[in-house]
Amino acid sequence: MTLFLSLSCNPLLNRIANPADLVETCARDIGIKRIQMTNEVINPSWPANTIKRLTDEFTKSAAANDLRATSVMTSGYTRINNMGHPDPDVRQWTFDWMARLGEIAADVGADSVGSQFAILTWQDYDDPARREVLIEAALDGWEQVWERCDRAGLKYIYWETMSVGREFGHTIASAHELNQKIKARGLPFKLLLDVDHGDLQSENPDDTDPYKWIEALAVDSPIIHIKQSHAVNKSGHNPFIEPFNSEGRIHAAELVPALEAHGPCDMEVCLELSFREREPTDSRAHVVDALRRSVDYWRPHIQI
């Protein structure tokens, strides 16, 4: 098994906009050669000529810096319920938008694109019949997305396990159940396993144990999101630096053997970190330094 380290662009949102600056910061200053690009870098809603120009800028700089966008994902700023919106026209617009993002992913050389499976309103989630209708509608939409992504040349699409029921995959059992429904459709629609998510109200302690998630579901997950996890405080996507490492649950000596034992043949271990928009944590020096040190923490253990 080969593990590859990558970096989600989430912590760089709004802090860097120019594609060449993004690539050079990641490759030269942070020291990472694989990234999970987000739609803020190149947004499907922008004019076609703008998308083409920015895509060309990104691919030119990526080639010059030996960097690759291995996947593309929606970010925290697009974590809204349009995939599971009760209005069918809004859902359809969203699936068209997601398909265009998949085409952008192919243009920048990525293998995959993904997001949350869907997010439901309180009203829709609390009504079991309505919930099932919208799950099937979301699956129909993701089939449309895959048809266009397949034509564009992507290898697969993916959905992320979340922390509450209406965002799906909040417990090991619920993630497994949805994964089986997806497999029944015959879609190459994989899991992105975020081991820091999970329902804090679950009566099953496994649902907040990152290593139990790996044991149960990593085999179906080509990408895993990690951050320095805390058993109780789930408010931060903390970097792999002190004091977070001493207080956290994610350690290379435990995580790497768990992934090797339970994961697929190859897996991308993606750092999904965040920094508050407050000084001093918002400054370029702080963010880049914390990201570089986080990469360095994993460097002896995972292929960079």
Give pLDDT, residue 304.
87
Q: What is the pTM of this model?
A: 0.95
- Mean pLDDT, the chain, rounded, equals 94
Distance of CA 93 to the CA centre of its chain: 21
Mean pLDDT of the region 274-297: 94
Give residue-wise pLDDT tens across range 118-136: 999 999 999 999 999 999 9
Of 216, 147, 143, the closest CA to residue 175 belongs to 216
The mean-pLDDT minimum among 21-25, 151-155, 225-229 falls in 225-229
* Radius of gyration for the alpha carbons in the chain, expressed in angstroms and rounded: 18
Give pLDDT, residue 234.
61
- Is the confidence at residue 5, as pLDDT, over 70? yes
Q: Give how far Cα 184 sits from Cα of 90, 143, 178, 180, 187, Å.
A: 26, 12, 10, 6, 8
Q: Phi/psi at 4 (nearest 5 deg)?
A: -120, 135
- Percent of the chain that is helix, strand, coil (3-state, to 5): 50, 15, 35
The mean-pLDDT minimum among 188-197, 226-235, 252-261, 268-277 falls in 226-235
Mean pLDDT of the region 206-225: 95
Spell 11-23 as b/e; 16+ CB within 10 A means b: bbbebbeebbebb
Give pLDDT, residue 230.
74
HSE (CB half, 13 Å, CA atoms) of 146?
18
Mean pLDDT of the region 72-79: 82
Structure tokens, 264: 């697929």
CA pair distance 71, 159, nearest whole angstrom: 12
Mean pLDDT of the region 111-117: 97
Of 155, 138, 58, the closest CA to residue 98 belongs to 138
- Is the confidence at residue 2, as pLDDT, over 70? yes
Burial of 289 (0-12, 13-18, 19+ CB in 10 A): middle
The letter for the amino acid at 249 is R
Give pLDDT, residue 231.
60
Domains of the chain: residue spans and CATH: 2-298 (3.20.20.150)
Mean pLDDT of the region 131-154: 97
- Is the confidence at residue 227, as pLDDT, over 90? yes
Q: Would you give the DSSP letter of residue 303? A: B
Q: Is residue 25 classed as helix, strand or coil in its secondary structure? A: helix
- Is the confidence at residue 79, as pLDDT, over 80? no
